[in-house]
């Protein structure tokens, strides 16, 4: 079973690195393994392109290997690049995480990593929703520009639940908060019984979509941790955005 143990340890390292670039000592502490074991696993992961060293050479970050596996399909390439970040968010927060893209006013749910808790929210992958009703959409609308936003609003802000945004004034207020905070919470605005938080994801050409974490209202979020959770998702999205920008600039 040594091979299985190595895989588990490698993914533990990937989850730790997905949370933010780290050096060998910090990673050994994070995954509770000897530095020699961590160094060996890092060498193997680096040789496969799963991780890479930062320009300073002192820390590791998620590499291009995941995307290279599916480079012929841009969407699959993005899913592969985001996967370690989703795994890390779910492991840290204990709730489902997802990758969403924005297309012509709609949020497309393109990937999800589930929690192992007994009570889980449904699998949303493959479905879609209007942007103003979802945190993943709000963080995109906050960055698409005035003309594009006017076009979106002209289509109407339909109500999905009792808490869905339905007026331009409400929308403008929320988007201003998104730009200030760097993330957006949604409390049963898309579906009753589900709360979620999202942060914007950028490529070299601008806004792409969002990283998202969601869970049932009775346990998510802890009201004392809403800002900390929001910042955690925002930091993961920023790290992935930097990786995507660096990769696209070299394509």
- Check residue 120 and give its pLDDT: 62
Give the CATH number of domain 71-250.
3.30.450.40
Identify each DSSP E strand in the chain by its residue range: 51-53, 60-62, 96-103, 106-113, 128-130, 184-187, 194-203, 206-216
Residue 219 CA, chain-centre distance (Å), reads 20
Using CA atoms, how far residue 141 sits from 36, 43, 112, 136, 162, in Å, is: 47, 41, 22, 9, 21
Whether residue 194 has pLDDT greater than 50: yes
Whether residue 49 has pLDDT greater than 80: no
Q: Supply the mean pLDDT for the chain.
A: 86
Per-residue pLDDT tens over the stretch 213-247: 999 999 999 999 999 999 999 999 999 999 888 77
74-93 vs 2-18: helix crossing angle, rounded to 10: 90
Question: At which residue do the structure tokens 């530095």 appear?
Answer: 35
> pTM for the whole thing?
0.71
C-beta separation of 42 from 9 below 8 A: no
Gap between the terminal Cα atoms of the chain: 39
Domains 2-63 and 71-250 share a fold: no
Q: Indicate the pLDDT class of residue 115, thresholds 50, 70 and 90.
A: confident
Q: Indicate the pLDDT class of residue 6, thresholds 50, 70 and 90.
A: low
Going by C-beta distance under 8 Å and a sequence separation of 6 or more, which residues neighbour residue 51? 13, 14, 17, 42, 45, 60, 61, 62, 63, 65
Q: Tell which CATH architecture fits domain 2-63.
A: Orthogonal Bundle (1.10)
Count of alpha carbons within 13 angstroms of residue 88, beta-carbon side? 27
Residue 24: count other Cβ atoms within 10 Å of its Cβ.
15
- Check residue 237 and give its pLDDT: 95
Whether residue 212 has pLDDT greater than 50: yes
Q: Indicate the pLDDT class of residue 7, thresholds 50, 70 and 90.
A: low
CA distance 55 to 78: 23
C-beta separation of 53 from 59 below 8 A: yes
**DSSP assignment of 62-101, as one string?**
E-SHHHHTTTT-HHHHHHHHHHHHHHHHHHHHSSEEEEEE
What pairing do the DSSP bridges indicate for beta strands 60-62 and 96-103? unpaired
| Domain residue ranges of the chain, discontinuous segments joined by + | 2-63, 71-250
């Amino acid at each position: 079973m040594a091979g299985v143990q190595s895989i588990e340890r490698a993914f533990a390292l990937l989850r730790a690195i997905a949370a933010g670039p780290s050096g060998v000592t910090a990673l050994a502490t994070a995954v509770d393994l000897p530095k020699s074991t961590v160094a060996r696993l890092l060498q193997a992961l680096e040789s496969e392109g799963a991780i890479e060293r930062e320009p300073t050479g002192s820390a590791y970050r998620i590499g291009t290997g995941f995307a290279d596996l599916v480079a012929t399909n841009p969407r699959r390439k993005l899913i592969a690049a985001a996967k370690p970040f989703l795994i890390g968010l779910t492991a840290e927060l204990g709730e489902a995480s997802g990758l969403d893209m924005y297309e012509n006013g709609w949020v497309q749910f393109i990937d999800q990593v589930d929690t192992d808790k007994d009570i889980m929210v449904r699998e949303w992958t493959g479905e879609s929703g209007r942007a103003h009703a979802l945190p993943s959409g709000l963080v995109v609308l906050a960055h698409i520009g005035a003309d594009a936003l006017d076009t979106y609003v002209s289509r109407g802000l339909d109500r999905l639940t009792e808490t869905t945004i339905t007026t331009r004034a409400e929308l403008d207020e929320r988007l201003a908060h998104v730009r200030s905070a760097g993330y957006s919470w949604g409390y049963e605005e898309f579906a009753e019984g589900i709360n979620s938080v999202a942060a914007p994801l950028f490529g070299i050409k601008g806004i792409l979509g969002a990283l998202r974490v969601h869970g049932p209202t009775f346990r998510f979020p802890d009201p004392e941790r809403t800002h900390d959770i929001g910042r955690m998702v925002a930091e993961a999205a920023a790290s992935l955005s930097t990786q995507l920008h660096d990769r696209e600039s070299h394509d």
